[in-house]
Amino acid sequence: MADMEKVIKMQVNKKGKEEFLVKWAGYPLSEATWEPFENLSGEDACEYPANFYSRNYAFIVNINANKCF
């Protein structure tokens, strides 16, 4: 699996689960994919959604924080 570069967007799917539009390192933006939190991997996996929330939704507490510890 490729390394994540950053999370671009977040959406809630039909089942009520968060999905993140991931820009993959070394791939063009057109190759970005929607991934559930469970698919985010690597040592910085928890950092990407947290950075996205802090950039875009400063008033929201990261509800996935407890999954990172």
Give all domains of the chain, ordered by start, each with its CATH number.
4-68 (2.40.50.40)
* Cα-to-chain-centroid distance, residue 8: 8
Spatial contact of 58 and 19, defined as CB atoms under 8 Å apart:
no
7: nearest Cα among 47, 42, 38, 43: 47
pTM, rounded to two decimals: 0.66
pLDDT at 62 over 70: no
Per-residue confidence band for 2, with pLDDT thresholds at 50, 70 and 90: confident
What percent of the chain lies above the pLDDT cut of 90? 23
For residue 10, the model assigns a pLDDT of: 85
Per-residue confidence band for 34, with pLDDT thresholds at 50, 70 and 90: very high
For residue 3, the model assigns a pLDDT of: 83
pLDDT at 66 over 80: no
